[in-house]
Amino acid sequence: MYNDIFNDILEQVSEISGHLWNYGWAERNGGNISYNITGCASLFCERPALGTPRPIGFKVPELAGAYFLVTGTGKRMRYVSKSPLDNAAVIRICPDLEHYEIVAEKEIFPSSELPSHLAIHNFLQVDRPSYKAVLHTHPIELIAMTHNRAFLEKDVLTKILWSMIPETRAFCPKGLGVVRYVLPGSVALAEATLEQLKEYDVVLWEKHGVVAVGEDLVEAFDMLDTLSKSAKIYESACSMGFVPEGMSDAQMNELKEAFNL
């Protein structure tokens, strides 16, 4: 029905949303996904808009003519995994760069977090133009670690999680940024996240969740999966009555040199 590129994107959304649900990271309608599908614009550019243009809340000057696949507001990841286009919106940015319109077969409204997602995509278009996917979800162990104030200082969690297992240092070379608690869905949260994305590909929101960006959705998910494994190792050691020592700085530097990180 579509082309190979768009079908591959739909398969990614189906696979990853299923993982989010099965991992317990997407309670009820928690979490959301957006994917820049401008490369597939020919599939949708002739379609009339469904409904009237809706405001973004600010201009997105780098997204002129852009199209996005965005999980729908109130939609459950367990249903997104079964039928992405019944639970996600396809939107295009209007010429005024302040509104969007829905162009898929069904008038499904995108996630209420759409402004944050578009702000991130607008940033990525300049800073990392090959990055097309934005993923927000609620990894249990990572969120739990944000309830320790000592872990919220810059790069404290990065060093702990890097040190738990070599793969984390290798596959999440930028570590993760931390945003102190801000009202979910707020402009302040979007602005704080953009500030952290200047340095990191993964941003942890205190007592809330995580945002990851990547060239595709699999890459974004894999970083979260790896970081979550490290958090589980840390938690498991603590539950056995000791704080894990982790790899030494020398061992992590050896990894950095070996993997050219």
Residues annotated as catalytic are 113
Residue 239 forms beta bridges with which residues? none
The secondary element (H helix, E strand) that includes residue 26 is none
Question: Among all chains, which residue has been given the structure tokens 């990572």?
Answer: 142
Q: Give dist(CA 260, CA 257) in Å, integer.
A: 5
How many C-beta atoms surround the C-beta of residue 52 within 10 A?
8
d(CA 124, CA 179): 18
Structure tokens at 182: 């801000």
First to last CA, the chain: 41
- Give residues with Cβ within 8 angstroms of 159, minimum separation 6: 175
Instruction: Give percent helix, percent strand, percent coil of the chain, each to the nearest 5.
Output: 45, 20, 35
